[in-house]
Structure 1
Amino acid sequence: MATLIEICDAYINDDSIITEPNNTTFIPEAITMQPLNQILYGPPGTGKTYATIDEALRILDPTFLQENGKDRSKLKAKFDELSTAGLVRFVTFHQSFSYEDFVEGLRAATNDDKQLEYKVEPGVFKRLCDDARTQGIQPGIGIRNNPRIWKISINGTGPSPTLTYCLDHGEARIGWGKTGDLLQPLEGNAFYESLGSGDRGTLRYYAEEIVPGDILLCIHSAEMISAVGVVTGDYRFDEKPPSAVIGDYNHVRSVNWIYRDLKLPIFPLNDDKQFVAKTVYLMDRFTWGDLLAYLEQSGAKPTKTNVASGERKPHVLIIDEINRGNISRIFGELITLIEPSKRAGADEALELTLPYSKRPFSVPSNVYLIGTMNTADRSLTGLDIALRRRFTFKEMAPNPELLDEVNIDGVNIGAILRKMNERIEVLLDRDHCLGHAYFIPLKKNSNISELKFIFRQQILPLLQEYFFEDWERIAWVLNSQTNLGTEAFLQKASTDLTSLFGPEIANNLQNSDRRWRINEDAFGNIECYRNILGISV
């Protein structure tokens, strides 16, 4: 046990695992050099969340970052554009955040029969992985973002001339042609009204709810998938079907059949349930990402040679305050799968079965994780070692140089930040220093009113938390102990202890009286800030 403790201590104290990414100019090819998993860590107010935009663009569009690195408005606009496109997601960890929010969990829902049921709902990380896995095959074949998946049976089950015609000619057809065009008013249509509610629902789904970009699953039997296609056109009514097609199969959709002749069981995707007899209905137990992963795992080959030719773009998940969540609970078994060597396609790739959906899952190699960590909230050395081993770390230290040109009545703000942080490092540690971001508003409004607001409403409450309201040490940080007059932010209480307790008790309390009061007037006095620097007034 003693040997094990020594090894763990050596690992925790090994600075070599805390690395700084190269700050040289990045070119598009440099994306391969970006860490798949990284954490920006530092004290409060050092711009960690602010920096995630640059880090995300360094991965997604390094050329744009290189050309516009100093124009924050352009960088933010580009980041928003990529977020809208689904290439960047943002989540904040907290104590209540769980595996069910991050990976997948059960959600209560009401079905078509108004009955309560529980469905497996993917979390933010699984949705991102599904998008990252499927996006590369979507360009050129018309799959929309988050497509719905519809079951369809064309002329029942098994092979048939009608099915063969549809697969060969890029169509999907269903019967009940005597209804006429479903886009025309159906009120008073005797044939339509003679149909049961299930058949009318099928026709409504087919004509109105299926949209271009959705996925069709054509069945081979009640247990087997025959073909997978992408809907490429709106509904149309064919007055005269071809001779190879059943005569009343007038209802047509254009479909790009990307997989054929599959004969794959539906059970692993559909919670061990077979297809029901309804001709067309929504399959909501799995996503397009689940289906694609299943097809790839089964060795299915697309019929189109260009199906997977699209570039699989990087997808970024930004996890703010990553150390505030219960990492083991949130990541679960995926803590292993995010490791670069265990990603899909790697030599040591791993795949596991998710506990709720019972479906195979792996993490794509084009998924990037960027976390932020407030070291004042929890020390880096206290972070889960399993997490530390799988992430690279970039320190975001206070940067007083950004404030060196900010002066208020001759008091340099950069110098104030340096001096206070030097004292905090001595009294606490570097993890509890003050970040430059608190003072950035002074670059636009360099006046005593703004400085007063920052110190009274932000800096002092933070110091109170840091030092657990040990006012004497807070006074040391502000250098108030050297000047107890009107220029001191904190002043010793002046109440006569004898009048409170009598002479005997007052004498015993004389050296333990640690009462301080906040001098509100000091925050509007520039001389008090000058006193922080140790400059005599």
Structure 2
Amino acid sequence: MERRTLENICKGINVWTDWQANYKKFVPEFIKEAASGSHWENWNQDVFHEFFIKSSDQCVSSLKQGYFTNKEKEAIKTHWDEIAPLLQKIAQEQYNPQYEVYNELKTQIREYTNFDRRAATNRLIAGLQPQLLCTIVNQHKLWELYALLTKHVAEPEIEWKPTWFENSYQMQQLFKKALQTDDGYQIITYPWQVYEEHDFTHSNKAPNNDMSEDKIAEISALLKYKKQIILQGPPGTGKTRLAKEIAQMLTDANSTSGLTKEIITANCQNQTSIPTAKTKLNFRILGVNGNGVRVENSEGKEYTAPYNDIVNMYEQKAWEKEGVIINGANSYSAAVAKFLYGKLNATTTSENTKDCKIIQFHPSYSYEDFVRGLVAKPDPDDKGIVYNAENKILAQIAEEAYQNFALNQSTSQPTAEVNISHFQLFIDDIKEQIAESKEQKLSLTDQVYLFEPDDKKFKYKGDNWIAHKNGLNMKYSELEKIIASGVKERSQIKNIPDLQELTKQHSSYFIRIVDMYYEYLKKHPLPSQTEVVETKLKNYVLIIDEINRANLSSVLGELIYGLEYRNKPVNSMYAIDGDKQLVLPPNFYIIGTMNTADRSVGHIDYAIRRRFAFVDVLPEALEEDEEIYFNTAGFTKVAALFNSNNVSPEFEAKDVQVGHSYFIVKKQDAPSIEERDELFRLKMTYEVVPILLEYVKDGILNGTVAQMDVKNYIISLKQ
């Protein structure tokens, strides 16, 4: 097949003039403002909005290639004094790439973002150097264009480099040469339009596998809608890591944003230098005392910034406004507030939280391991072994999510919160009565009594009970719901929504405790004014790694119904305290990961498949950064195997291609280039090649590559 020239392809492009005009309007002004080194407040605000605030249709790359979140935008403003000098250096040099400064800016911005906003950062840099860098700011899409051009276009080959900056520079110069111009403004749409519009004969671009920040946000939105998703792809594509990032995005919203004395104290214990709120001088935090934070100014004089003043400055973002910092005392509080704002809004990378759990399925995993099952324990009366039903990981996190959801949704929420602030004192009083009684119990009726209270429940039973001889649980959370509802009659308890069946069945016992509570209130009345604190709705996430390795129909059981009909009770085959009901609330999310190359694992039937959304997570060329090296040459050679000529018709290339994680070496593991190259060799020889040879053995790969038998080609990859 005859190769066309890039010049010939570009002649068939109908330039996107609106984008080009917008680019020519804003980019020169952006360069001018950045080159001045001035504070963002002194910029032309239309220009600042275009590059730092706008979240769609931005002039450098209008095709949704990654944007900063609102929280991250505020952090960038807060740390402007650290970012502005780097923007200035780049803007003042329009003819030579500034690779070191690019990386400095990227590293600096990374400190203020929840994820590596590569595309958003690349956009800023590309906008500052239009003559040098192209407008495809997404690394994966740039690599796709590179692969298509090297395969189908008759141009001198360009070598794929480790970073987006180098590859973007090469691509821009390639298009300049093809279009015979030195004016970057004239060609800004061409790389994108060639990628998007040109029909490369017999070539299919890879499925959309953009795992940039916008794609992660899109998957998060899908998860919020569907409630459960499965990330599917071949081995080594980062499915589990992506699941953790999505879970973090959801659970990050659970944290509170208010500043308290405790938070201030925890973050200001150690001596540290901080910038002032408005000037370029520095203060120094010396520690804390009973009144506030001890601050030393540039002249060595000490002042205490009061806690209340710091909170006030923090809430107002006083360092961004005129007229708020009106005296010297305010400046100390504002400086501390600015420091705390930047620190608290920086990225958090905690992998495990109480709101997020992760498990891995295996072929012998069962319903009793995952949802609810019988557990053998020694009889407390020393009469052998007893078998009690217990909630497992799914039911545990679902119950916690449901308790949060029920409190948040309660129409009597203010009453519940006011009473519950007093409720714990009442529970403590009951505990004391039980502890002080000779028999360590408190009677509810002539034959039924409370005993063995703990942090979550009372136990109760009757002397003549044959069933439940070890007692049942009277949960404090159930008592709270009854009190919150305002119900004071036993017959009305059955009408309260969201109560467990056991509570309704044994309402005569529960109402006795409720009566005791109101008697307690008569002796210990509530304060006349009590602050009402609303229960915040939280997100809870369960990650199931290798979800298709277990028999899902068997493991999920009746919860297949609960996945679709959220907040509707389903009956388990096991009862806890006489209650069989399980509920999956709408604030509970499930993320599964699935290896599409593993045909030995269980099939997901259509009933379950219908209840999940499936997201492809496929191999992509990465760029080196401050944390990793990427074996680009090795990745490209292996990727050449996965096409319609070499992959068996029984498989799709996207389901079996070896993922990018096999080509990554962490910089902390390779202090020198020699050690990096040796790790590249070891991973290729002992991780990648064995998988590929197994593919040949299983009939997945066949044919010839680069005029070599596929098996010999694979063996040649050993370095």
TM-score (norm: length of structure 2): 0.41
Amino acid across the alignment from 2:502: L
Q: 1:118 aligns with which of 387, 409, 412?
A: 387
Distance 1:208 1:227 in 2: 10
**Over aligned residue pairs, what C-alpha RMSD do you find?**
5.6
Amino acid across the alignment from 1:88: C
- Offset at residue 103 of structure 1 (A): 1.2
1:360 aligns with 2:581: yes
1:436 is aligned to 660
Aligned residue runs from structure 1 range 12-411, under 5 A: 23=214, 33-61=224-252, 74-77=347-350, 79-80=351-352, 83=353, 86-115=354-383, 116-136=385-405, 137=407, 170=426, 199=439, 210=453, 213-216=455-458, 229=476, 261=488, 263=490, 268-269=501-502, 309-339=534-564, 342-344=565-567, 350-357=568-575, 358-378=579-599, 382-402=603-623
CA contact (8 A) 1:216 1:231 kept: no
- Offset at residue 385 of structure 1 (A): 1.1
- Offset at residue 110 of structure 1 (A): 1.1
Using a 3 Å threshold, how does the CA distance of structure 1 residues 421 and 313 change in structure 2: closer, same or farther? same
Q: 1:451 aligns with which of 665, 674, 680?
A: 680
**SS of aligned partner of 2:687:** helix
Amino acid across the alignment from 1:361: L
Which whole-Å deviations, capped at 9, do the CAs of 1:319-361 have from their partners, x for residues lacking one? 100111101000111112101xx111xxxxx432211115222
- Offset at residue 268 of structure 1 (A): 4.9
CA contact (8 A) 1:94 1:325 kept: yes
- Offset at residue 392 of structure 1 (A): 1.0
Stretch of structure 1 that moved more, 429-438 or 43-52: 429-438
More helix by proportion, 1 or 2?
2
Distance 2:635 2:473 in 1: 69
Stretch of structure 1 that moved more, 259-268 or 436-445: 259-268
CA contact (8 A) 1:230 1:258 kept: no
Q: 2:642 aligns with which of 401, 404, 421?
A: 421
Amino acid across the alignment from 2:356: V
Distance 2:532 2:375 in 1: 33
Distance 2:217 2:549 in 1: 32
Using a 3 Å threshold, how does the CA distance of structure 1 residues 489 and 134 change in structure 2: closer, same or farther? closer
Distance 2:599 2:710 in 1: 32
CA contact (8 A) 1:89 1:317 kept: yes
- Offset at residue 455 of structure 1 (A): 1.7
CA contact (8 A) 1:314 1:368 kept: yes
Distance 1:387 1:130 in 2: 22
Using a 3 Å threshold, how does the CA distance of structure 1 residues 62 and 353 change in structure 2: closer, same or farther? closer
**SS of aligned partner of 1:108:** strand
CA contact (8 A) 1:403 1:413 kept: no
Which whole-Å deviations, capped at 9, do the CAs of 1:19-78 have from their partners, x for residues lacking one? 999936959x969955311111000000000111221123223699xxxxxxxx94432x
**SS of aligned partner of 1:113:** coil
Using a 3 Å threshold, how does the CA distance of structure 1 residues 383 and 458 change in structure 2: closer, same or farther? same
CA contact (8 A) 1:317 1:369 kept: yes
Using a 3 Å threshold, how does the CA distance of structure 1 residues 420 and 168 change in structure 2: closer, same or farther? closer
CA contact (8 A) 1:316 1:370 kept: yes
Which whole-Å deviations, capped at 9, do the CAs of 1:457-510 have from their partners, x for residues lacking one? 211221233233779x689569764997xxx774xxxxxxxxxxxxxxxxxxxx
Distance 2:430 2:561 in 1: 46
CA contact (8 A) 1:19 1:392 kept: no
CA contact (8 A) 2:551 2:602 kept: no
Using a 3 Å threshold, how does the CA distance of structure 1 residues 459 and 173 change in structure 2: closer, same or farther? closer
Distance 2:423 2:692 in 1: 70
CA contact (8 A) 1:108 1:118 kept: yes
Amino acid across the alignment from 1:129: A
CA contact (8 A) 1:46 1:398 kept: yes
Using a 3 Å threshold, how does the CA distance of structure 1 residues 59 and 477 change in structure 2: closer, same or farther? farther
Number of residue pairs the alignment of both structures matches: 361
Unpaired runs of 5+ in structure 2? 1-206, 256-345, 409-415, 444-448, 466-471, 514-529
TM-score (norm: length of structure 1): 0.53
- Offset at residue 363 of structure 1 (A): 1.3
Distance 1:422 1:403 in 2: 26
Using a 3 Å threshold, how does the CA distance of structure 1 residues 176 and 32 change in structure 2: closer, same or farther? closer
Using a 3 Å threshold, how does the CA distance of structure 1 residues 438 and 208 change in structure 2: closer, same or farther? farther
- Offset at residue 401 of structure 1 (A): 4.1
CA contact (8 A) 1:107 1:119 kept: yes
Amino acid across the alignment from 1:465: E
2:277 is aligned to none
Amino acid across the alignment from 1:391: F
Distance 1:76 1:168 in 2: 34
- Offset at residue 112 of structure 1 (A): 1.3
CA contact (8 A) 1:40 1:396 kept: yes
CA contact (8 A) 2:377 2:386 kept: yes
Amino acid across the alignment from 1:433: Q
Using a 3 Å threshold, how does the CA distance of structure 1 residues 100 and 229 change in structure 2: closer, same or farther? closer
Distance 2:403 2:595 in 1: 34
Distance 2:475 2:397 in 1: 22
Distance 2:709 2:639 in 1: 19
Report percent identity of matched pairs. Answer: 25
Q: 1:460 aligns with which of 672, 681, 689?
A: 689
Which whole-Å deviations, capped at 9, do the CAs of 1:256-275 have from their partners, x for residues lacking one? 96576363699953999999
